[in-house]
Amino acid sequence: TVALPLLMDLQVFTPIAVAYLNAFPDVRLDIRSCEGVPKLLKEGIDIALVLGQLPNSSEFAVPLGAVRPIVCASPAYLGKWGRPSTPEDLKAHRAVATNAAGYDAHWHFRCGRSIRSVKPTPALTCTTQRAAIHAATLGLGLIRCMSYEAHDELRRGLLEPVLSAFAGPDVPVQLIYRHGRRAEARVRTFIDFAAPQLRAHPAFQAR
The structure's pTM equals: 0.85
Kindly list the strands in the beta sheet with 171-177, ordered across the sheet, starting from the edge strand earlier in the chain: 31-34, 2-5, 47-51, 171-177, 60-67
Instruction: Tell me what pLDDT residue 58 has.
Output: 54
Which residue from 38, 37, 17 is spatially nearest to 27, judged by alpha carbons? 17
Instruction: Tell me what pLDDT residue 59 has.
Output: 63
Rounded mean pLDDT of 193-199? Answer: 93
Residues 28-85 pLDDT 10s: 999 988 877 778 878 888 899 999 877 666 568 889 999 999 999 999 999 999 999 9
The 3-state DSSP class for residue 138 equals coil
Compute the distance between CA of residue 151 and CA of residue 203 in angstroms, rounded to an integer.
6
The 3-state DSSP class for residue 130 equals helix
Domains and CATH numbers, the chain: 2-66+170-204 (3.40.190.10), 69-166 (3.40.190.10)
